[in-house]
Amino acid sequence: MGPPLVDIAQWLPAAQAGSREALGRVLEACRGYLLLIARQELEPALQAKGGASDLVQQTFLEAQKDLARFHGTTPEALLAWMRRLLLNNLANFRRDYRRDKRRVSREVALRISDSSTQGGGGLCAGTPSPSVALIQDEQTQALERALERLPEDYRRVMHLRYREERSFEAMAELMQRSPNAVRKLWARAIDSLQQELGAPR
């Protein structure tokens, strides 16, 4: 289970000072949040090419390398910075696979051969293996179950932020709260989601 998100502020200074243990704790606290974004942003056609967890791991590697460029001190600032890294990785991932020579829509399924001496085996380009598909499905279901266990206000703030991609100001107007109150509600929702994802069931 990852540490509560509210503890990022405690570990962040040590991480920025060079503590690998503190950095590991900070990154682990961000995992659930980043997975949520990656799963929502990654198109089904591209999921066979790389899972959300791969993109999050790549983001972690970049964060470790570039942490000196982050000058914030709050969990919200760190999450915003990590989100930008992740979205950049997603954009690069999409671009790489949308080039004409690698376009997913142009991939062709291998034909199943009647002859046992010929290759092929019936594998479909762009189709995840059964184990990869099962893991992705289990992760998505676990995330959905965790979201369902959150209080209504938490579910709503997550829905508005990630599914409708609304700004905090727009969310504040819809929820009849101040932008600052919505940011705090969002931070608590992320923290609760992280705990739900790590809790044994």
**Residues 64-120 pLDDT 10s:** 888 888 988 888 889 889 999 999 988 888 787 666 445 545 555 545 444 444 444
Instruction: Identify the pLDDT of residue 148.
Output: 85
Instruction: Identify the pLDDT of residue 3.
Output: 44
pLDDT over 70, % of the chain: 69
Q: How confident is the model at residue 60 (pLDDT cuts 50, 70, 90)?
A: very high
Span between the terminal Cα atoms of the chain, in Å: 12
Half-sphere exposure of 111 (CA within 13 A, CB side): 4
Residue 7 has pLDDT above 60, yes or no: yes
d(CA 46, CA 165): 21
Instruction: Identify the pLDDT of residue 100.
Output: 44
Going by C-alpha positions, the residue among 134, 126, 130, 177 that lies closest to residue 153 is 177
Instruction: Identify the pLDDT of residue 85.
Output: 93
Q: Is 85 exposed, middle or buried (0-12, 13-18, 19+ CB in 10 A)?
A: buried
Instruction: Identify the pLDDT of residue 84.
Output: 92
The mean pLDDT value for 172-196 works out to 86
- The string of pLDDT tens digits covering residues 110-134 is 454 444 444 444 444 455 556 655 6
